[in-house]
Structure 1
């Protein structure tokens, strides 16, 4: 469809968190650098941002950046009991048959962590949508994971990612012990207007196209309607390409984007 019409090899504004399409705005670059440092130091890190700002894509880029020296465990749905959570972590770091009894499970976790250390690798537990964690007990288990350590070094890194309300949740005094262990905090902001222009051109080029397919006025309308949130930009840009294809439009101008105003209110 529109890919061939606009000379694209791939869909430039796909929703999947492909690290190739990670546009390193100033904020994204700093977030990734801070996470890399936290993982290198085996620390607990907190990354927050509005829905669609690119947190998950950054976590995939982090995995690529760290390479074989880390073993990543992604918890994408943290609505788990503490035991379910620990078993998921154990399985992801090499425990073939996680125990049901908690004391045995913790022993298995400790052994698996030491095996990874002997291999020169660090387990990294990434908990996405952490604002959905159901209760204090699971937050306590996350905190206790940081107890896997030697005298001179932690043996595991944990990354908590979530929407802004996660910070409000963690501000509760009951979570003070966990907050004190968070070594890196970062809040990811939406893109600026200039970054939105660069973002759109960047993704077009990665997809095999050429920059400048969207006029400056079209980009401004996309920015106004999306608030600079990458996921919303992707939806608007994709729909604009579809409209443009249907009109045989060789480039996307502001009038085409304006037609999406009503749809944008649903995002």
Structure 2
């Protein structure tokens, strides 16, 4: 609805868990570090808790995407206390069974799988989301499954994620044996006011938009209404953008947020806080100073008769799309010139330089392509998928110029991160197994990079 108006590639505040949009705030960084610490320290059990909407599932998705190449990972999301046994759900999550098995057969299959993976030096990581729904009996079944860790090598690790009720369950006296096996646990706290403003800017940036679209006062009001709950932040910001679009406002002010929250909260279902003065805020005139400190160019563009020119100056997404069209029609030099201008915006750094590299490859300028691809990889905020794309094209270009050793290392790195990524694993084996002739000529220009926007990469101190 509003994406085109605000030059967004996608909806920045969708409710579906998406690790690419995960903001690396202090509480989520600490939680992710603990999850990785659990993997590194071979902890039998790790527990992550938090209120609904705090981002637990997004953290788990990030953990799975970054470590699936090293471990066999199964995710159980819909098991409840009223199921007879948990093991069939576990086998289903690992792809080991598609039909109902009796308990003895299921145990045998799981035991054999653990032994098989252990022989290949791969641990099995079992993630149970919404674990507070299991109840004491199914948690006891998990404890007994952990007894399969015999000998010196850990075969099975279990990560439990759930709401605060999971903490209460694990603190019960009859759960003491289970609790003693928990090596690490972390409770996600709500975001601070600073982190709330940062997460709004971050999600806008990932979606390809302007980070300053929400004013400081608007961000402060969002924090007050949501108490720093990420899911509620998404809901309030999404409806605020809808209201802003309806009124053709280039900046989302506290007045627009108040109007949106007031209408959204009339039904009483959305649990917003601090709503006392929303009526006053919603009916107050716009504060010009609030708008001027956000996006001065945006305010000017609304009143300027030649809005298309103004928008081209301040919205790099429009220039980026134009450069893509020039590239498709073979006007590569012109495309490179525009991509270089777009690359000055941090939100477009990686994708712009990657496209510059593809243009140089099409023109036969492999040195320029290599330089552009390497420059693109300097973007520390890029998503894992974006980095893999650029690494792969860099490797293809290196291979085409006869630099086989570096190309092979890059292919291996890509394949380790994603074993099914294109033909990276095959090319790594091919280059490693036999000498290859140095290739000359132009690299293919019809390959393109799939972009899903920037994201703040989580950096763990335990990596």
Shorter-chain TM range is over 0.9
Please state how far the C-alpha of 1:99 moved relative to its aligned partner: 6.5
Partner of 1:219: 219
The residue number in structure 2 matching 1:67 is 68
Secondary structure of the corresponding residue to residue 13 of structure 1: coil
Match of 1:113 in 2: 114
Provide structure 1 residue ranges, at least 5 long, that are not aligned to the other structure: none
Report the more deviating stretch, 90-99 or 238-247. 90-99
> How many pairs were matched up?
266
Question: 2-side partners of 1:28 and 1:181: how far apart?
Answer: 24
Please give the per-residue CA displacement for 1:79-98, whole angstroms capped at 9, x wherever unaligned.
15565420121233342366
Question: How far apart are the structure 2 equivalents of 1:98 and 1:45?
Answer: 29
The answer (yes or no) to whether the contact 1:81–1:138 under 8 Å persists in 2 is no
Deviates more, 1:152-161 or 1:84-93: 84-93
Check whether the contact 2:124–2:157 (CA below 8 A) recurs between aligned residues: yes
- Post-superposition CA distance 1:183-229 (Å, at most 9, x none): 11100011100001110000101001121000000001100000100
- Aligned runs of 1:238-257 on 2, under 5 Å? 238-257=238-257
Distance (Å, rounded) in 2 between the aligned partners of 1:97 and 1:53: 32
Q: Which consecutive unaligned segments of at least 5 residues does structure 2 have?
A: 271-463
Range that drifts further, 2-11 or 103-112 = 103-112
Q: Report the TM-score, using the length of structure 1 for normalisation.
A: 0.94
Residue equivalent to 1:125: 126
**Residues 93, 113 of structure 1: 8 Å contact kept:** no
Q: Which has the higher contact order (CA 8 A, sep 6+)?
A: 1
Query: Which secondary structure state, in structure 2, belongs to the residue aligned with residue 2 of structure 1?
Result: coil
Q: Which residue of structure 2 aligns with residue 189 of structure 1?
A: 189
Which is worse superposed, 170-179 or 94-103?
Answer: 94-103
Contact kept in structure 2, 1:42 and 1:156, CA below 8 Å: no
Deviation digits for residues 99-158 of structure 1 (CA, Å, limit 9, x no counterpart): 63322321211101111222332221111111111x422111111121121321321111
Question: Residues 228, 121 of structure 1: CA spacing in aligned structure 2 closer, same or farther, 3 A cutoff?
Answer: same
Output the CA distance in 2 between the equivalents of 1:261 and 1:162. 28
Equivalent residue number for residue 266 of structure 1: 269
Aligned to 2:21: 21
C-alpha contact (below 8 Å) 2:149/2:155 kept by paired residues: yes
State the Cα distance separating 1:73 from its structure 2 match.
Answer: 1.3
Residue 266 of structure 1: how far off its partner (Å) = 2.4
Closer/same/farther in 2, CA of residues 100 and 81 from structure 1, 3 Å limit: farther
Q: Are 1:36 and 1:66, in contact at CA under 8 Å, matched by a contact in 2?
A: no
Change (3 A) 1:28 1:131: same
Single out whichever of 58-67 and 145-154 deviates more from structure 2. 145-154
More displaced 10-residue stretch of structure 1: 173-182 or 39-48: 39-48
Distance 1:14 1:67 in 2: 25
Q: Name segments (4+ residues, structure 1) moved above 6 Å.
A: none
Match of 1:137 in 2: 137
In the alignment, the residues of structure 1 paired with residue 12 and residue 220 of structure 2 have an alpha-carbon distance, to the nearest angstrom, of 19
Secondary structure in structure 2 of the residue aligned to 1:260: helix
Tell me how far apart the structure 2 counterparts of residues 260 and 169 of structure 1 sit (CA, whole Å): 38
Q: Please, what is the CA RMSD of the aligned residues?
A: 1.6
> CA separation in 1, counterparts of 2:180 and 2:221?
43
Q: Is the 8 A contact 2:123 2:157 kept in 1?
A: yes
Farther off after superposition, 80-89 or 14-23: 80-89
Q: 2:51 aligns to what? A: 50
Shift of residue 166, structure 1, vs aligned partner = 1.1
In the other structure, the counterpart of 1:205 is 205
Match of 1:91 in 2: 92
Higher alpha-carbon deviation: 72-81 or 227-236: 72-81
What displacement does 1:74 show?
1.3
> How far apart, in 1, do the equivalents of 2:100 and 2:237 lie?
48
SS at 1:183 equivalent: strand
Instruction: Choose 75-84 or 113-122, whichever is displaced more.
Output: 75-84
